[in-house]
C-alpha cells in the first residue's frame, strides 16, 4: 500500500493501475473494466476495486490513451454478419477508408443483447475510433464510450453529445411505402415488424418509428391497423404469412419492417402461386438481392453504402480532433419493383434531401 509521503519526506509517486490491481488482488484488466464501467463486471468486483482506488487515491490518467500513439486501426461493430443491409454499410466504410492508413477490426454481436461486449472488445484492442452499427445499447452507455474514444453510431435515432450519428429518415420511408400502397388501392394492409421485446432501446430503434407511421396513416383513413410482431424473421414470418393468406378475408398488401421479413414472406407467396396483384409485398432496406430480376422486391433504399462512407468520414474527423456532435440524416427512396404492382420500375424520393442536422 502506498502512503502519501515517502520515507525521505518527499511526495510519494502517484498510484498506478498496477498498484490498484495488486491492492485489490485482481488483474490489471479487471481494474480497467471497473474504471470504464465495462459490460459484465460483477458488483463484488466493482466494490473491491473501488475500495482500492479510494484507499490509494488513484486517479486514472485520462490522457494515457492519447499518449500511446495511433494503432492505425478502426473498429466496426456489426449486429449481424448475414444481414445484407449491414453488409452495404460495411462496403461504404471499406471504400471510404481504402486510401487511408487505417485497417478495420470487425466485431459482430453474438446475440441481440451483446452490443456492449462487442464494443468493449474493440476498445480493449485500443482502436483509434469505433463505428457502431445498430449497436443495441442505450444512448447513455454510448455517451460514456464516446467520452473515451472517437465514436460514430449508425442506425439509431440518438441525439448525443459525445459521438456522431448517421441514420435514415424512417418516418419519411414508412410514409413512402404507405402512400404507394394507398395509391394502388390497398386498404387491407398488414405490417410485420420486429417484436419490441427483443429491442434493447425501442425509443431510438427505427422499427417502432416505422410502426407508428403505419398505424397513424391507417387510422387517418379510418382503417384498423393490423400489426404482427415476430422474433425470428425466417420461421415466424413464414408461419405468419401462411396464416394471413388463410384468413377468410385476407389482407391485400404487406408492409415488412425490413427486407429479411419481406423475403421470407415472398417464399410463401411463391410457393402458393399468389401474384402481386393479389398480395403486394413491400420491404425496407433495399438489400442487394432485392433488385434481382427473379425477385424484384419493392422496398425502401436507405442508401446504405453512402451511410457507411459518411460514418467513416465523420470518424476520421473525430480522430483528427473534432469534438462537436454531428447528426446526419439520409432521406430514403422507394424502389418500386414487381412485388407490389406491374412489372415496371420506378423510384420515388422523399421530399427532404440528406443533410446534417443538429
> Residue 215 falls within a domain, yes or no?
yes
Claim to verify: residue 50 and residue 199 sit in the same structural domain: no
Q: What is the pLDDT of residue 315?
A: 97
Residue 11 lies in a domain: no
* Residue 215, pLDDT score: 98
What pLDDT sits at residue 347?
A: 57
The neighbouring-strand residues paired with 227 are 191
Query: Which pLDDT does position 62 carry in this prediction?
Result: 41
Tell whether 4 is covered by a domain.
no
| Residue 15 DSSP label | P
Residue ending a domain, among 33, 60, 87, is 60
CATH code of the domain in which 43 resides: 1.10.260.40
Average pLDDT over residues 128-134: 95
Cα separation, 202 vs 192, in Å, equals 16
Work out the pLDDT band at 97, boundaries 50, 70, 90: very high
pLDDT greater at residue 20 or residue 109: 20
Q: Is residue 4 pLDDT above 50, yes or no?
A: no
Is residue 52 domain-shared with residue 72, that is, in the same domain? no
Query: Do residues 49 and 104 both lie within one domain?
Result: no
Helix (H, G, I), strand (E, B) or coil at 247: coil
Verify that 73 and 128 share a domain, yes or no. Answer: yes
Residue 343 has pLDDT above 70, yes or no: no
Flag whether 5 is in a domain: no
What CATH code is carried by the domain that includes residue 290? 3.40.50.2300
Assess whether 40 and 83 both reside in one domain. Answer: no
Domain end position, chosen among 60, 77, 95: 60
The CA distance from 349 to 358, in Å, is 23
Q: Are residues 26 and 85 in the same domain?
A: no
State the average pLDDT over residues 297-316.
Answer: 97
Q: Are residues 314 and 233 in the same domain?
A: yes
Considering the domain architecture, whether residues 160 and 295 belong to the same structural domain is answered as yes
Buried b (16+ CB within 10 A) or exposed e, 198-212: ebbbeebbbbbbbbe
**Which positions ≥6 away from 211 have C-beta within 8 Å?**
191, 193, 227, 257
Q: What is the pLDDT of residue 151?
A: 97
Pairing of strands 129-133, 151-154: parallel
72 and 37 assigned to the same domain: no
Average pLDDT of the chain, as a whole number: 86
What is the model's pLDDT at position 33? 78
Share of the chain above pLDDT 70, in %: 84
Task: Among 36, 60, 84, identify where a domain stops.
Answer: 60
Nearest-angstrom CA–CA distance, 22 and 28: 8
Cα distance between residue 215 and residue 174, in whole Å: 10
Q: What is the pLDDT of residues 165-179, one digit of tens each?
A: 999 999 999 999 999
Cα 236 to Cα 83, 195, 248: the distances in Å are 17, 11, 21
73 shares a domain with 50? no
| The pLDDT of residue 356 is above 60 | no
Name the pLDDT band for 350 (thresholds 50, 70, 90): confident
85 domain residue, yes or no: yes
pLDDT for the residue 63: 43
Over residues 251-264, the mean pLDDT reads 95
Q: Which pLDDT score is estimated for 333? A: 98
Mean pLDDT over 134-143 rounds to 90
Check: pTM over 0.85? Answer yes or no: no
Residues of the chain above pLDDT 90, percent: 62
Position 291 in a domain: yes
pLDDT surpassing 80 at residue 12: no
Average pLDDT over every residue of 28-35: 80
pLDDT of residue 248: 96
pLDDT band per the 50, 70, 90 thresholds, residue 241: very high
Q: Does the pLDDT value for residue 255 go beyond 90?
A: yes
pLDDT at 54: 86
pLDDT band at 3 (very low <50, low <70, confident <90, very high): very low
Residues 151 and 42 in one domain: no
How many domains are there within the chain? 2
Q: Which domain holds residue 51?
A: 17-60
52 in the same domain as 144:
no
* Residue 109's pLDDT band (cuts 50, 70, 90): confident
Asked if residue 10 belongs to a domain, the reply is no
Residue 216 lies in a domain: yes
The model's pLDDT over 190-214, given as tens digits with 9 standing for 90+, comes to 999 988 766 667 788 999 999 999 9
Amino acid at each position: 500500500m502506498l502512503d502519501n509521503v515517502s520515507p525521505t519526506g518527499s511526495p510519494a509517486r502517484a498510484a498506478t493501475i498496477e498498484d490498484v490491481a495488486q491492492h485489490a488482488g485482481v488483474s490489471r484488466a479487471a481494474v480497467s473494466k471497473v474504471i470504464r464501467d465495462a459490460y459484465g463486471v460483477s458488483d463484488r468486483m466493482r466494490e473491491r476495486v473501488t475500495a482500492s482506488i479510494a484507499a490509494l487515491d488513484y486517479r486514472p490518467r485520462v490522457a494515457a490513451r492519447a499518449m500511446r500513439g495511433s494503432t492505425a486501426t478502426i473498429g466496426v461493430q456489426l449486429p449481424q454478419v448475414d444481414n445484407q443491409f449491414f453488409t452495404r454499410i460495411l462496403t461504404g466504410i471499406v471504400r471510404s477508408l481504402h486510401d487511408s492508413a487505417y485497417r478495420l477490426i470487425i466485431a459482430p454481436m453474438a446475440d441481440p443483447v451483446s452490443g456492449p461486449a462487442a464494443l468493449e472488445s474493440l476498445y480493449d484492442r485500443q482502436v483509434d475510433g469505433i463505428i457502431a452499427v445498430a449497436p443495441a445499447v442505450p444512448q447513455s452507455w454510448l455517451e460514456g464510450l464516446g467520452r473515451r474514444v472517437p465514436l460514430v453510431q449508425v442506425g439509431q435515432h440518438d441525439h448525443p453529445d459525445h459521438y456522431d450519428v448517421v441514420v435514415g429518415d424512417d418516418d419519411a420511408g414508412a410514409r413512402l411505402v404507405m402512400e404507394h400502397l394507398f395509391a394502388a388501392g390497398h386498404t387491407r394492409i398488414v405490417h410485420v415488424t420486429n417484436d419490441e421485446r427483443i429491442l434493447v432501446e425501442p425509443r431510438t430503434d427505427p422499427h417502432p418509428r416505422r410502426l407508428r407511421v403505419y398505424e397513424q396513416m391507417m387510422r387517418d383513413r379510418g382503417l384498423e391497423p393490423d400489426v404482427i410482431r415476430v422474433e425470428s424473421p425466417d420461421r415466424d414470418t413464414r408461419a405468419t404469412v401462411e396464416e394471413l393468406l388463410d384468413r377468410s378475408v385476407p389482407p391485400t398488401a404487406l408492409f415488412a419492417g425490413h427486407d429479411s421479413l419481406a423475403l421470407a414472406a415472398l417464399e410463401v407467396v411463391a410457393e402458393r402461386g399468389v401474384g402481386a396483384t393479389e398480395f403486394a409485398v413491400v420491404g425496407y432496406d433495399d438489400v442487394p438481392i432485392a433488385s434481382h430480376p427473379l425477385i424484384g422486391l419493392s422496398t425502401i433504399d436507405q442508401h446504405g453504402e453512402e451511410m457507411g462512407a459518411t460514418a467513416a468520414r465523420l470518424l476520421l474527423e473525430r480522430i483528427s480532433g473534432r469534438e462537436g456532435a454531428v447528426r446526419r440524416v439520409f432521406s430514403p427512396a422507394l424502389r418500386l419493383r414487381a412485388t407490389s404492382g406491374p412489372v415496371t420500375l420506378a423510384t420515388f424520393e422523399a421530399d427532404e434531401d440528406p443533410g446534417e442536422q443538429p
